[in-house]
Structures are given as structure tokens and as C-alpha cells.
Amino acid sequence: MKIALAADHAGFGYKDKIAEQLRAQGHETHDFGTRDATPVDYPDYGFVVGAAVASGRYDRGIVVCGSSLGIAIAANKVEGVRCAAVVEPYSCELARRHNDANVLALSERLTGWEMVERLVAIFMETPFESGGRHSHRVAKLAFGVAEQTKAEADLARGYVEGAQTPKSLL
């Protein structure tokens, strides 16, 4: 697969090791930076990997920052991106099986390297359970401004949480 990688100054060390891990497994990687400890802004790096994956030029993306959180929030701002910030194996597996996550966000300050190596392997190897309820739900994530406006209007009219969800989807 073709994998887009990026990190801020708090994550570039893991980003470089992840690139080595992926290349050793036969994947093609592209490094969108950063390459040293000079402080940079994590949104710039989340956005670029998000855009790279959303464009279809890369199959998946992996981003790293100090906590995993800021860069994940940034990546998820790009339409078409489903970025999961994970710290343990089961949520990583579910991010692929149920959410078809196309970008993985990792933390260099909070997660040890052995765990990160494992999370990368799970992210790369776990398939999406397509064709059933998960496909339907992931398709909903792609809804745009019109649906957002409708949801806001529904809330303003006093909808109770989940009230619009047909039982068949639960």
C-alpha cells in the first residue's frame, strides 16, 4: 500500500521508525515532515496527510504528535478522512473493522514504541467488515453540510438524542 506519513516535532522520531517498519513490510511511504525537533504546528501535518489520503493518491495515512489528539483532530477536518487516535490494540482493530479508519493517529509521548509497532501492524492488516451495518454507518459519516444543517435544525426543534434512528439500524 501507499502510506502518507507526517508528524509534528513531538512525533517525528516515531514517524521515522514507522516508515522503516512499513517499508520492511513492502509498503511504499511518503514523508510529509516534520524532520527535526524545531517546533511546528500539528494542524499543518494533520491536514496534509488528510488531504493526501482523501485525494486517493495514498491508501492510508499515519500521523504522530505528542498526544495523538491534536493531529487526529486536524486530519479529521478533511472530508473523507476517518482518523482514529488509538493507544491500545482492541480499539485499533475496531477502528479498522467497524469504522474503516483510513488514517491512524499515534502518540510519541504517551505510548511506548513496542505498542506503537503493534498498533501499526494491526492498522495495516485488519480488514473493514464491509457490506453490512458498518458500511451503512461509515457511509453516514460522509454526509455533508446539508445533513449537518438538518441535524442542527432537528436539535433546535427539540429532538431527543437518537430519536431519528430507526430500530432496524440499532
**30 CB-near residues (< 8 Å, 6+ apart):** 2, 3, 4, 5, 52, 58
**Binding-site member from 4, 5, 10, 75 for ligand RB5 (CB under 6 A):** 10
Instruction: Give yes or no for a contact between 128 and 134, defined as CB atoms under 8 angstroms apart.
Output: yes
Give the span between the Cα atoms of 105 and 107, in whole angstroms. 7
**Binding-site member from 21, 29, 34, 67 for ligand RB5 (CB under 6 A):** 67
The number of residues making up the chain comes to 170
Contact status: 100 vs ligand RB5 (CB under 6 A) = no
Site pattern 34..53 for ligand RB5 (x: CB under 6 A): --------x-----------
Taking the complex as a whole, the smallest distance from the CB of residue 64 to ligand RB5 amounts, in Å, to: 8
Taking the complex as a whole, the smallest distance from the CB of residue 135 to ligand RB5 amounts, in Å, to: 31
Q: Is 65 a catalytic residue?
A: yes
Spatial CA neighbour of 1 closest among 31, 29, 21: 29
Under the rule (CB under 6 A), what is the footprint of ligand RB5?
A: 8, 10, 42, 65-67, 69-70
